[in-house]
Amino acid sequence: MLEIYLHMFCFFQKFSHQLKYASYSVQSLPSCDFPETTLDPGELVLLGMNKNKNASSKSKLLLASIPSEEDIAKLRMKPQKGKTGVSTCESLSDMISECRSVSSKWRIFNMKFMPQNPLQVACRNEGNDILLCDLTKPSDYTNLMEKNTWTLKGLGSCGYGLSWNASFPGMLVAAGHDNTICLWSVLHSIVNSDTIHPLSTFRIRRGAINDVCWHPFYDFVFGTVDNNGKLFIWDVRTNGDGEFALQSNTTNSEIMCLSFNPFDQNYLATGDIKGNVAIWDDRNLYRPLKLLQYHSNEVTQVVWSPFHEDLLASAGADGHIILWKIGNWMKSHSETNDLPIEVEFICKCSKAVTGISWSASSPLRILSVSEDTSFEVWKPSSAN
């Protein structure tokens, strides 16, 4: 039986900011070089500002600047201790500034920056196409949509799954709810056309593909999860409908998200609609190695830490963000071991958490967005 230890915790940092509109996704960016020499962006964050259904204004992809940990340390803090021991900065809203934006007629479900050029951003929205945006130029709400965006064709429905290849610049994979996966190479295509068509197309037999993720160790391999409860591992060198390399047994519930461990080539995590977080070994997809049960509703995202191989964050429709410490269990590399998996950190948001991101510059700093338009920055005291 799997043991889960709950740590006592409080926050070293917790900042909240209400966005004008809800964002379904968030991503922290590494340091970027902007054309303007005067711009000091702090920590850069991608947000999808989604209009209300009846609003006349457009949704937009927003690149915002928030204070880095170094910036916050220099500010005059006014402690406001509450029941959870949270210390907040009164003027956080004034410290968040807009660096770039791109308008969209569609609501934005997900966005990812290109690892080799973080100011090239791909967006999934409620339309069928992928929008590729160039954020290297200053915001121009009138002309930017015409000058610095491209359309990626090939999918027959909307969706969420989107992932850039970390080894090959411009190689992007995305999946839709029409059982289709498309692979594009965008760098050469954007020179000649505003519309980009896929290099390859893959399909599962039936069902909606909920998420897709490139493998961090194998350049030609990516994974997908679907509403039939299956995990697939694909190799792009075997092109064709249904030509996947590996497939799991069908689980008992729809799988919503996945993430490969960036430090250990064998491990990946998934989250399902019932609230389960599963740890898998891709050498044997017969069943998950471990099932972590704490969320009471759909797991909306799982993300391994880019700084610590044994830390996994999960977010849920129950409003919880959980930081799982899997170090002792991973070191044993045994399917049958009963070493405990610890819950290092739990925070509760007022509404369903729609997206989380580890900070690209500060270990153990977590960014989150929720259905109620909240944008929050978290760091547990144990991480200080």
Collapse the DSSP code of 74 into the 3-class scheme (helix H, G, I; strand E, B; otherwise coil) and give the result.
Answer: helix
Q: Residues 209, 305, 248, 272: is their CA dihedral positive or negative?
A: negative
CA distance 179 to 52: 28
Q: Are the C-beta atoms of residues 269 and 285 closer than 8 Å to each other?
A: no
Q: At CA 379, angle to CA 377 and CA 380, rounded to 5? A: 145
CA distance 378 to 31: 20
Instruction: Tell me which residue range forms the domain holding 308.
Output: 4-383
In order, the DSSP letters of 235-280 are: ETTS-STT-EEEEPPP-SS-EEEEEE-SS-TTEEEEEETTSEEEEE
Domain count across the chain: 1
In order, the DSSP letters of 171-240 are: EEEEE-TTSEEEEEE-TTHHHH-SEE--SEEEE-SSS-EEEEEE-SS-TTEEEEEETTS-EEEEETTS-S
Which CATH number is 17's domain given? 2.130.10.10
Sheet holding 43-49, edge to edge: 26-29, 43-49, 59-66, 97-104
Task: List per-residue pLDDT tens for the chain, 384 residues long.
Answer: 334 334 434 555 677 888 888 999 999 998 876 655 445 567 899 999 887 766 656 788 999 998 887 777 666 455 544 444 444 454 556 678 888 888 888 889 999 999 999 999 999 988 899 999 988 876 554 444 445 789 999 999 989 999 999 999 999 999 989 889 999 999 876 667 789 999 999 988 888 999 999 999 999 999 999 999 999 999 988 755 545 667 777 667 899 999 999 999 999 999 999 999 999 998 888 888 888 989 999 999 999 999 999 999 999 999 999 999 887 666 655 554 455 577 888 888 889 999 999 999 888 899 999 999 999 988 877 544
Helix (H) or strand (E) holding 109: strand 108-114
In sequence order, the 6+-apart residues with CB closer than 8 A to the CB of 38 are none
Amino acid at 101: S
